[in-house]
A and B are shown apart, each in its own frame.
Chain A
């Protein structure tokens, strides 16, 4: 079965700095990969998803993620953090040949002025 590991339960960056949230997956078959964001007191919102097309996926709010099969990674990045990016971010994986969707434990992003 596939699984997801998000390295760092809490990441803190300064406003304007690079955001890098790490996600590694384990799957014996090609996966579909997702990043979701949960702003305070709100539900989950899809940021972006990888479904075996381009390995570099661009999402909303300036975020992007790159699927690297050799590293089994799908890290989320944003060149310049805004205060409004403060939220909890979840990585998720589905193996294409089953219906088991797994979420990571989440990474809380804090943006300092």
Chain B
């Protein structure tokens, strides 16, 4: 069966520090991968999606970036965190041919607090 992992589960970082959040999927090949952010009191926002190794599409301009160095690994990064980067980050995967209507399976999330 397929599983999705995210780490760390909780992270507290100072403003200006770098960020690296990792997401890995097991039990499937060539998944579509997604990064979402849920800021306090707001809905989920799609940040990045990837349909294959090295293919990253960005939904919103920001100081975050994403990379997919391996088929089942998706990394969310920042060179310098801002206070506004605080939130709950969710990774998801899907296996459909149309990434827009994928049934998406979400990881447990990472709660990031920037101080």
Contact = CB atoms under 8 A, between A and B. Distances in A.
A43 B43 contact: no
Nearest to A91: B43
Contacts of A90: 43-44
B44 A103 contact: yes
Contacts of B103: 46, 49
Main secondary structure of the interface of A (DSSP, over half): strand
Interface in A77-113: 90, 92, 94, 96, 99-106
Nearest to A5: B43
A100 B108 contact: no
A4 B43 contact: yes
Q: Which of A36, A42, A44, A90 has the most CB of B within 10 A?
A: A44
Nearest to B91: A43
B106 A44 contact: yes
Query: Chain B: interface residue count, which band?
Result: 20 to 34
Interface string A44-58: 111001010000000
Given A43-B90, A44-B90, A45-B106, A32 B101 contact: yes
A6 B41 CA distance: 13
Contact of B101 (A42, A43, A49, A100): A49
Contacts of B100: 32, 94, 96, 99, 101
Interface in B53-102: 57, 59, 90, 92, 99-101
Interface string A9-50: 000000000000000000000001000100000111110010
B46 interface: yes
Contacts of B92: 44
Interface of A: 4, 6, 32, 36, 42-46, 49, 51, 90, 92, 94, 96, 99-106
Given A49-B101, A51-B101, A100-B59, 11 more contacts: A32-B100, A32-B101, A42-B108, A43-B4, A44-B44, A44-B104, A45-B106, A90-B44, A99-B49, A99-B57, A104-B43
